[in-house]
Each structure stands twice: as C-alpha cells, then as structure tokens.
Amino acid sequence: MSLALCAHHDLSRDNTLGLPCRAERFVAPASLDEVREALDLARREGGPLTLLGGGSNLILPTWLPGLVVHPAMQSWWLEERGREVLVHAEAAVVWHELVMALAARGLWGTENLALIPGQCGAAPIQNIGAYGVELSDVIEAVHLVHLDDGREAVLSPAACAFGYRDSVFKGALEGRVVITRLVLRLSRSPRPRLGYGELAARVGASPSALEVAEAVCAIRCEKLPDPAVLGNAGSFFKNPVVAADLARTLAKAHPTMPHFPQPDGRVKLAAGWLIDQCGLKGWRQGHFGVHERQALVLVHFGGGSAVELLDFAGQVADAVRERFGVTLEREPRLAVPA
C-alpha cells in the first residue's frame, strides 16, 4: 500500500471551530488513484468512514472511529472557451486562494465569494454563497467517486439539485460519494453583481473583478472573526425562509426587520438580526459565545466540545423561537461516519 496511514490523528487543527477530535485512522490521498485506494481499504475493512475537507462547515466529535479520508489533491487549471473559461479545481484547492487568483486574472463569476473558508471539494455540499452569488451560479460540473464501488461520475448542475445552502450531497448522495473536482464556468466579460448590502458603495462605477473581491474581503474582515484567531464555522444558522403571513405579522411588529421576498412567495429573514434582537450578541456561556460583531456567528474560545456547542446553539435557537416563532436551522454539518 502506498498510502500513509496515521493512527489517533489529531484533527483539532483540521476544523475551523477548533474542536478537539482524534481520528482512529487518518489518510490524505494526494491523487485520484490514492482516493480509490483509500476507499478500497475502507470497503475491505468494513469500518466507519468519514470524509473531511477543510473542516470549515463541520462539527467534529471528540473521537472519530474507523478511517478518516482527507483528500489532498491541490491542482487547478484553465480551459479556454472564447470569452468563457472553464476552471478545473481539485478537492483540496483552498477556495479563497482560488477566487483571488481567478479575480487577478480578470475572470468574473466567483469574486463575490471571496474569503469564504474551506476547500473546493466541500463547496458544492453547502452550495456556498455570499453577497448575492451562490456556487450554483457558476458551477459547470462536479466530479466524484462513489464510496460503495469506486466508480467515477460527473454531475451536471441540475443533477446537483442546488438550493439555498443545500444540494444533493446533503440529500440522496450524503455519505455516498467523495467530491474530487469542480468545474466552474467563468467569464472574461465584466459582470459585477453589486446589489447586495454595502458592496456597491465600496467600489467604483466600473470595478475590476479583483476590486470586487478585495471589497468583499474588507467587508467580511470588518464583520467576521478570523477562524485562525477565534474558532468559528462562519454563519452557524441559515437565514430562515418563512410563510408570507408570518413575515407580514413580524414586519408589522418590527418595522426595521430585514426581509427578502422569495420567488415562491415566501420571505427570507436575517437570522443574525433575529438573534441580535434577543439580546444575544456578545453573550458567552462556558467555552462558546455569540460573536460581538456578528450575531450569526458562534465562536469557540477553546476547551469546549461538540456536545457543549450544540447545547449552546440550542439555547440561541430556543430564544429566537420563543420571541419570534421562527425556527433556526443549523448550517454546519455534524461529522457522522458512513
């Protein structure tokens, strides 16, 4: 076997929440062949299998039994298509670094998604999004390998069943595939999307893709904590989408409440605003807290566990439900071995 297996591997630095976790066994395949080899090993031994990317949207337990597979393929390349460019990015490419490199090359489409933590392989699972853009807006294809038999497949955007912070990888294919490569369709023609929040005020009338990406970075740095300094998983709750009747009732009682009508007639609310209105911004209990500048972000001060985090998050969600009658849904996934 060419794979280097590590026993009782420490994963505390492999998740942005900084939760203490050890993997019974750990392997980081650096090629597609090594991915297949790792999956073959897991099938032969029949034990639990956990797939781990950048750990930016994951809640890890203190112990992961079986085998943890952490894809380490880090190549990306361009395929020219006239004014369009296809970007091929393997699973372990750091998302933010890719976005900035593409923006510097004058390629449009991902610049609003700058500074989102994590790696490319995990991006489709959550259909990452920010400032009015989602990954589904630029995805061309997702390459994957099935865990049960090692066969490769390529999914179209439609087959990925993308939704708001959702995809087929959180549904029918959850725990059944490992994503190995993304293909993004970007453009050399300027197409800035500046209609979200304060982004337009940060750039000129005809910004470059890099200027937009840098403005996004500046805004995010002002509002969000750096996971390298203070453990967090970014937005901990999804922005809830509620029935129009409930939204009207809430807006009447709270005229300043942000709300965004959706194509299906429902209304999206701002989870951070709801939490803030409950007086929880800056609240700390034990090893966890609500960030002092962005109530949507739960932070880890060190020394805590997943059990404590979930209890803390439950208290936040309970407060929102009691005051507004709105249920918050957790965004980070629990690491559950397949």
Identify each DSSP E strand in the chain by its residue range: 6-10, 22-27, 49-51, 58-59, 63-69, 76-81, 84-90, 129-130, 133-134, 139-146, 152-155, 177-187, 231-235, 241-242, 259-261, 267-269, 284-285, 288-290, 297-300, 333-334
Q: What percent of the chain has pLDDT over 90?
A: 87
The answer to whether the beta carbons of residues 254 and 278 sit under 8 Å apart is no
Give tens-digit pLDDT for 212-264: 999 999 999 998 899 989 999 989 999 999 999 999 999 999 999 999 999 99
Say whether pLDDT at 297 is over 90.
Answer: yes
Annotated catalytic residue: which of 25, 165, 181, 220? Answer: 165
Per-residue pLDDT band at 47 (split at 50, 70, 90)? confident
Mean pLDDT, rounded, for 259-281: 96
Amino acid symbol at 82: G
Assess whether pLDDT exceeds 80 at residue 336: no
pLDDT at 151 over 90: yes
Of 93-97, 130-134, 270-274, least confident by mean pLDDT is 130-134
DSSP H or E segment with residue 329 = none
* pLDDT for 56: 87
Q: Is the pLDDT of residue 52 over 80?
A: yes
Residue 163: per-residue pLDDT: 93
pLDDT digits (tens, 9 = 90+) for 298-316: 999 999 999 999 999 999 9
The pLDDT score that the predictor gives to residue 83 is: 87
Given a cut of 80, whether residue 1 has pLDDT beyond it is no
- Rounded to whole angstroms, the Cα distance separating 228 from 221 reads 12
User: Where are the alpha helices (H) located in the chain, listed in sequence order?
Assistant: 32-45, 95-104, 123-126, 199-202, 209-223, 244-253, 271-277, 306-324
State how far the alpha carbon of 145 is from the alpha carbons of 1, 156, 253, 337, in Å: 20, 15, 50, 17
Q: What is the pLDDT of residue 228?
A: 87
**Mean pLDDT for the stretch of residues 115-123:** 94
> Which amino acid, one-letter code, is at 279?
G
Which of 174, 330, 331, 333 is catalytic? The answer is 331
User: Is 97 an active-site residue?
Assistant: no
What pLDDT, on the 0 to 100 scale, is given for residue 185?
98
DSSP annotation of 332 reads S
Quote the pTM value.
0.87
Active-site residue, 44 included: no
Predicted confidence at residue 57, as pLDDT, reads 86
Q: Report pLDDT for 3.
A: 81
For residues 102 and 111, what is the distance between their CA atoms, to the nearest angstrom?
8
CA distance 34 to 4: 10
pLDDT score, position 196: 77
Domains and CATH numbers, the chain: 6-69 (3.30.43.10), 76-223 (3.30.465.10), 231-334 (3.90.78.10)
Work out whether the CA dihedral 27, 31, 32, 36 comes out positive or negative.
Answer: negative
Query: Considering 56, 136, 167, 235, which one is annotated as catalytic?
Result: 235
Say if CB 89 and CB 194 are below 8 A apart.
Answer: no
Q: Count Cβ atoms within 10 A of the Cβ of residue 105 and give its class: 0-12 exposed, 13-18 middle, 19 or more buried.
A: middle
The arithmetic mean of pLDDT across residues 135-148, rounded, is 97
Average pLDDT of the residues of the chain: 94
Q: Is the pLDDT of residue 2 over 80?
A: no
Average pLDDT of the segment spanning 81-89: 94
Q: 54-76: per-residue pLDDT in tens?
A: 888 899 999 999 999 999 999 99
Return the CA Rg of the chain: 20
Per residue in 87-110, pLDDT (tens digit) is 999 999 999 999 999 999 999 999
335 pLDDT band, cuts 50/70/90, is: confident
Give 113's contacts (C-beta < 8 A, 6+ positions apart): 95, 99, 128, 129, 130, 131, 133, 135, 216
Catalytic site includes residue 292:
no
Tokens of 117: 């933590």
In the predicted model, what is the mean pLDDT of residues 144-171? 95
| Predicted pLDDT at 16 | 94
Cβ neighbours of 8 (radius 10 Å): 10
Assess contact for 176 and 147: CB atoms under 8 A: yes
Q: What is the pLDDT of residue 338?
A: 61
